[in-house]
Amino acid sequence: MSDAKMICDVEILQPHSLLPKPEAPPGLLDSPSVKNDIVLDHLPLENFSVDIPAIGKFIRERSNSFSAAIAKKLSSFKENLDEPKSPAMSEFNISGLRVVVKLKNDDNKKDKEVIKGRISFFSRSNCRDCTAVRQFFREKGLKFVEINIDVYPRREKELVERTGSSSVPQIFFNEKLFGGLVALNSLRNSGDFDRRLREMVASKCPDDAPSPPVYGFDDDPEEEEESTEEIVWIVRVLRQRLPIQDRLMKMKIVKNCFAGCEMVEALIHHLDCGRKKAVQIGKQLAKKHFIHHVFGENDFEDGNHFYRFLEHEPFFPNASTSGDRQMMISPSLQPKRSVDYIGISNSEEFRRYVNLTQGLHRINLVDLTTEQRLAFFLNLYNAMVIHAVIRSGSPEGIMDRKFFSEFQYIVGGHPYSLSTIKNGIIRNNRRPPYSLVKPFGSGDNRLELVLPKVNPLIHFGLCDGTKSSPTVKFFSPQGIETELRTAAREFFQGIGMEVDLDKRTVHLTRIIKWFSSDFGQEKEILKWLMSYLNATKAGLLSHLLSDGGPVSISYKDYD
């Protein structure tokens, strides 16, 4: 087609009569005399023509102008970025397009540039001031290093050397001692914390600052005595050389055992000593609970008597062939009523605790006072409950054998379950609920650790890992009686007791019914309770007891 124009039939859809008529873009009509305001529906359809070159020219011009506008604006935007004072937000408009660019906030960048050093503080478990310091740093979004001297006891010496005392919390900005919670609150209230922080932590942390704790190194126990190290070496040699195997004895299979004469021969061969000396070493290993007779019949004798290493006993394996460490349970695990078992299981303190339980199997408890023994076993019970829940789940009831009887620690060379601790040691070897048998029979070596009398308050210091049990607490030998009274008061002021005046009924925890032998006659229990109630409950109970009417006792369902 030689002409630059093309005539085509175009079907035009006419808009509604009330709508504005579309205007023809310039250059699209065949006649240059036609103005932009000519309405399309005035054109004869048969004469309507399209100028193709005009369309291309129109598109190129509009595209070039559009690209030039974007390039111009982006260029000016780049120039603005190079200026020292740029606005936090830049905005520019192009016909048909709106571009908004948000500049990066420099505040976070400045914070990162400021904190080049290290914030660290020494703490202890169950320290409210330490919790407040930890929470403050977290709210500020600041990274910090916490050195818990209950988890890492060897760092306490460093704390004393740096601060002159063992009190916590003690905060350090790099190597500089800042102070405790009082100093932190003072600086926070003055509004000068950020400036002081920039001054003290703006430089890289020097080598003489408190170092972050390293698990497996900072918590290593102190070096064992030379004699104990020698025993440990002997035990390790014996474990490799003795024929440890399962044997049939007394119509039952006894696992992982060896004969006394086999151990004597191994000692003679590897220590190049006489038989008498080897037997003495065997007795020493038995005395320190490295080995046990499989039926508990003797300590150690030469001959065809069978023994096994403590870690091969069919109990929970908190035993090892490490040194003879003396370990007392301390309150390193202190949850409240709502226990975060997952959080505890993932914590550094729990890892430390599990390692420390290995030191329990050769601990000497015989020389402890009554108060020390009571505090020790109360704390051990509560810590074991947390461990048992993490390991096997919450108890299904008071008779859950797997939870209360099968989960065991070896303490002082003997196995202890939750049931034997509560009923055997703390309750003076009394039968547990729904049982006809005492925990310890006659001749049981654990009888020498049984507490001389039952204190009914112990039931409010023991947590069973259930909602209806008392909250987890830990106790000190010095204040054990006062702490138990406080625990009982908190329990009865909470979920342990309710008074219904209309029905003249007192609703008590089922713990009292289960262990009624520890509390005495039912009619005396209400008078005993008066010392542990708040003013409101004490007033209601006093009113019921004083008017001469009958009072009923109902026991709550145990959750």
* Predicted local distance difference test score (pLDDT) of residue 436: 82
C-alpha angle 246/247/249, rounded to 5°? 140
- Same domain, residue pair 370 and 458: yes
Query: For 459-483, b where at least 16 C-beta lie within 10 A, e where not — what string?
Result: bbbbbbbbeebbbbbbbeeeebeeb
Is 219 among the domain residues? Answer: no
Cα distances from 437 to residues 324, 416, 418, 442, in angstroms, run 34, 16, 16, 12
- Same domain, residue pair 298 and 351: no
- Same domain, residue pair 301 and 417: no
Is 177 among the domain residues? Answer: yes
3-state class (DSSP) for residue 444? coil
Number of structural domains (the chain) is 4
- Same domain, residue pair 371 and 450: yes
Domain final position from 439, 467, 495: 467
- Same domain, residue pair 424 and 525: no
- Same domain, residue pair 456 and 497: no
Domain final position from 409, 443, 467: 467
Average pLDDT over residues 424-449: 86
**What global pTM score does this model have?**
0.54
- Same domain, residue pair 416 and 527: no
* Predicted local distance difference test score (pLDDT) of residue 150: 79
261, pLDDT greater than 90: yes
* Predicted local distance difference test score (pLDDT) of residue 171: 93
| Phi and psi at residue 34, to the nearest 5° | -75, 130
Domain CATH number, residue 167: 3.40.30.10
User: In angstroms, rounded to a whole number, what is the distance separating the alpha carbons of residues 339 and 330?
Assistant: 18
> Which tens digit of pLDDT belongs to each residue from 459-497?
888 888 777 778 888 888 888 898 999 988 888 888 888
526, pLDDT greater than 70: yes
Beta-carbon contacts of residue 236 (< 8 Å; ≥ 6 apart): 321
User: In angstroms, rounded to a whole number, what is the distance separating the alpha carbons of residues 120 and 169?
Assistant: 10
- Same domain, residue pair 173 and 252: no
Residue 69: pLDDT band with limits 50, 70, 90: low
367, pLDDT greater than 90: no
Average pLDDT over residues 8-37: 54
Average pLDDT over residues 240-260: 87
Is 336 among the domain residues? Answer: no
User: In angstroms, rounded to a whole number, what is the distance separating the alpha carbons of residues 5 and 11?
Assistant: 18
Q: And the tokens for 294?
A: 């499989």
Cβ neighbourhood burial of 428 (10 Å; 0-12, 13-18, 19+)? middle
| Phi and psi at residue 52, to the nearest 5° | -60, -45
Average pLDDT over residues 307-323: 56
Is 83 among the domain residues? Answer: no
Evaluate whether 388 touches 367 at the Cβ level (below 8 Å). Answer: no
Is 407 among the domain residues? Answer: yes
- Same domain, residue pair 349 and 433: yes
- Same domain, residue pair 349 and 463: yes
84, pLDDT greater than 60: no
Residue 316: pLDDT band with limits 50, 70, 90: very low
- Same domain, residue pair 489 and 537: yes
* Predicted local distance difference test score (pLDDT) of residue 35: 43
- What's 130's DSSP letter? H
Please report, rounded to a whole number, the percentage of residues in the chain having pLDDT higher than 70. 70
* Predicted local distance difference test score (pLDDT) of residue 41: 44
Cα distances from 511 to residues 71, 332, 448, in angstroms, run 81, 27, 27
Could you list the residue range(s) of the whole structural domain that residue 528 is in?
482-555
Domain CATH number, residue 304: 1.10.10.10
Is 79 among the domain residues? Answer: no
Q: And the tokens for 222?
A: 């102190």
Average pLDDT over residues 501-512: 84
Is 261 among the domain residues? Answer: yes
What's the mean pLDDT when you consider all of the chain?
Answer: 75
Is 105 among the domain residues? Answer: no
Lowest pLDDT segment from 192-196, 322-326, 513-517, 525-529:
322-326
Which residue pairs, CB below 8 angstroms and at least 24 apart, start in 550-554?
Answer: 550/504, 551/504, 551/505, 551/506, 551/526, 552/503, 552/504, 552/505, 552/506, 553/505, 553/506, 553/508, 553/522, 553/525, 553/526, 554/505, 554/506, 554/507, 554/508
* Predicted local distance difference test score (pLDDT) of residue 108: 46
353, pLDDT greater than 60: yes
- Same domain, residue pair 534 and 440: no
